[in-house]
Structures are given as C-alpha cells and as structure tokens.
Amino acid sequence: MSFNFPIQDTEPDDKMLSEFAERTRKTLIARLENWEDQKTWDEFYRTYWRLIYSVALKAGLREDEAWDVVQETILSIAKQSKKNMYDPSQGSFKLWLWNMTRWRINDQFRRRKKDTAMLISPRQEESDEHPIETIPDEGKNSFEQLWEQEWQKNLIKAAIDRVKAVVSPKQFQVFDYYVLREWNVSKVCSHLGVSIAQVYLAKHRVGAALKKELNYLMDQAKDPSDPKHSKKK
C-alpha cells in the first residue's frame, strides 16, 4: 500500500510552540540522563527541533505525532553518535538528518496505519514500504525541496534565537523592526523612541552577531559524527 500524503501548508505558531518545545526538551533530556555531555544534546535539540517538527507537520502528521518524531529522531541520532555509527564520508549532515527524520515520520505513519487496521481488520497485513519512499518521483522532489526550504529557515531562526541570548533586548528589538520587518528609520525611531545612530548601531552589532551565529551553526553541521566538535567561543 502506498502512502501518497500531501505536503501540508502549515506554519508553527511560535507562541504556542514555545511551551511544548520546552516540555519536550525536558522529557528528552531526562531520557538521556545517564549519557555524557547533556549540554551538547540540549544545544542540538534547541538548534534542530523546529526543523524536524515543521517537516513532520507538513508531511501530514498530527501535532502529537510530530512531537514524537522530534524526540525519536534526536534520540536515534544520539544513539548512533554514541556508538560512532555515522560515517561522514557517506554524506552530508543535512542528508543524514533528513534520513533520520523521514524514517521517524514513516514510523509514525506506519503506527497510525497499524492502529487503524486493528480497529477495522486485525488481520490486515502490514507493508514494509516506507511512506515517503513510495511517493512518486515528483512527490519526492517536492518533499526534498521542502526539507531544503525548512533547513534554511531553521538555520536563520536558530541563529536568531542564539543572538537574543547575547545582545540586549532593546538592541534586538531595534534590529527586528529595522532589518527583519523592514521598517524605515523614521518609523523605528518614532515607535521605539531611539535615535538614528542607535538604529544603525543595533543593525551593525546585531547583524555581526547574527552572521557569527550562522557561521557557527553551518560549521557545526559539517561533522554530524561528533556534535561536540565545534564548541562555542
């Protein structure tokens, strides 16, 4: 049986997601309590949970299923990394994370199919086919394009979240209105009660910090076999 599920046009709501993301993070870290370097995996979660969740949701999973995908994907990656099972020469980190994520998405669809079969026909045979792998070529390309789009969006979002922790709230607010929301200087000054010089200073300082964080995240993603390889300076 083929699962030709559509890509859902769904954008997670930041305000709603923050509470669930924190709850999922605590649960995940608790499941890794006996492992070394929880801080590293906590950072890994904060960097990539949104990417995994968004793709799972747009693949057609429910919110609770998408959160399960987040946890199971990161747990699987942690286990593989602990056993040194990943070979960087076999592909990029982006491809590796994509494969780990789509396998967990497939697991959720398979689990859903099994639950449905139990309600309708307990003797219904299970298929070993992976839902994503059974999508026609055009669908596969669309899903890979979705992954690429979400990857880029996630890098920027993750970098912005990291920047918020190292610059003042006021400076980030100025940067947000002037650069991200593209307000003109006069409107920013009037709305926030700042000078033109403060606007340009925020643009320079926060922009430099954002570039640094983006470079850090891109460098960190070069070697998925060891998420500890690039410590933040």
Helices (H), the chain: 14-31, 38-58, 63-82, 93-120, 137-164, 169-175, 185-192, 196-220
| CATH code (residue 193) | 1.10.10
Q: Specify if 152 maps to a domain.
A: no
Terminal Cα-to-Cα distance of the chain (whole angstroms)? 50
Q: Specify if 157 maps to a domain.
A: no
pLDDT digit string (tens) for 88-105?
Answer: 666 778 888 898 899 999
CA distances from 128 to 68, 111, 120 (A): 20, 12, 19
Residues 134 and 171 occupy one common structural domain: no
Single-letter code of the amino acid located at 29: I
Residue 74, domain extent? 1-139
Q: Specify if 150 maps to a domain.
A: no
Q: Specify if 146 maps to a domain.
A: no
Token pair in block for residue 72: 């199971």
Residues 176 and 223 occupy one common structural domain: yes
- Full-model pTM: 0.72
pLDDT digit string (tens) for 3-21?
Answer: 344 445 455 556 666 666 7
DSSP 188: H
